[in-house]
Amino acid sequence: MTTVRIPPTLRPDAEGRREVAAAGTTVGEVLQDVADQFPALRARIFENGNIARFVNVYVGGEDIRTQDGLATPVAGDSTVILLPAMAGGGIAR
């Protein structure tokens, strides 16, 4: 199983989980499995069948946009990181 790291802002849609185990041989299959387990996540991370533009996906420390996108192969023991931008810093709104 592949470990998928869920960012803090998406955890409410994944029952608060920080990591989710998912099956698949490509990033697309792994994320489909995640979406099957947590249907609320599907609408967040997928957009017209592709990854939503505000979410970066890393496999083996590399952005899948610089690899084969959803077809990027995933080894069984690898970690997939979902990473949206975070705003937080210092100036109060």
Q: Where does this chain bind another protein (CB under 8 A)?
A: 7-10, 18, 44, 53-56, 58, 61-63, 66, 81, 83-93
C-beta of 45: minimal distance to another protein in Å?
11
C-beta of 50: minimal distance to another protein in Å?
13
Chain-centroid distance of CA 84 in Å reads 9
Question: What's the order of all strands across the beta sheet hosting 62-63?
Answer: 19-22, 2-5, 79-84, 55-59, 62-63
Alpha-carbon separation of residue 44 from 3, 23, 57 (angstroms): 19, 19, 13
C-beta of 30: minimal distance to another protein in Å?
17
Q: Which is nearer to another protein, 18 or 75 (CB)?
A: 18
